[in-house]
Chains A and B, each alone.
Chain A
Amino acid sequence: NAGVMQNPRHLVRRRGQEARLRCSPMKGHSHVYWYRQLPEEGLKFMVYLQKENIIDESGMPKERFSAEFPKEGPSILRIQQVVRGDSAAYFCASSQQGRETQYFGPGTRLLVL
């Protein structure tokens, strides 16, 4: 049973470009969470999704960031018009049910030049 998969593992973007981060949850998991780890900071919650629904986006910046988890395919975290402050590691986690053990992917490390 494959774990949580994220791609790309590393992403370099110039200021103003768009970044798309993908997350495939573990088989049988329909709950997806996105977290961000800024340099020298702890992981911070961004958004929680179930298939086709955003349940909690209280940690998501109000502008430029969006997330989706379509009926088919991976969850996508999209960052428009990236700025240097967006440089961070973005982790996806999944669980079988809400509030159960969250299993994390290897992360996508975004570098904005």
Chain B
Amino acid sequence: DADVTQTPRNRITKTGKRIMLECSQTKGHDRMYWYRQDPGLGLRLIYYSFDVKDINKGEISDGYSVSRQAQAKFSLSLESAIPNQTALYFCATSDYYSSGGPDTQYFGPGTRLTVL
């Protein structure tokens, strides 16, 4: 079973609809991240969370919100979807070594979202 799972894998929705993308991980990591990727571009950070009580905005948080329901679950919501939010969305998890220094980030398979 995959360590980082995302649901749904594909979603088509209409402008103005509310949509939630979910991410679950079995790695036991405290840190979770949401990114979006537009065609031909690198990933851009939307939100990140270092633990259940910690939520931080990334580069492009406008139009998005998140919820960290548990250590293993981190959801991304689009309250009122618009066409320019059509993109590939990735969730990632990471840890931080007690000896100092960040662990690698492990990415999910992605959710392809189309807003019509």
Q: Do A and B come from one complex?
A: no
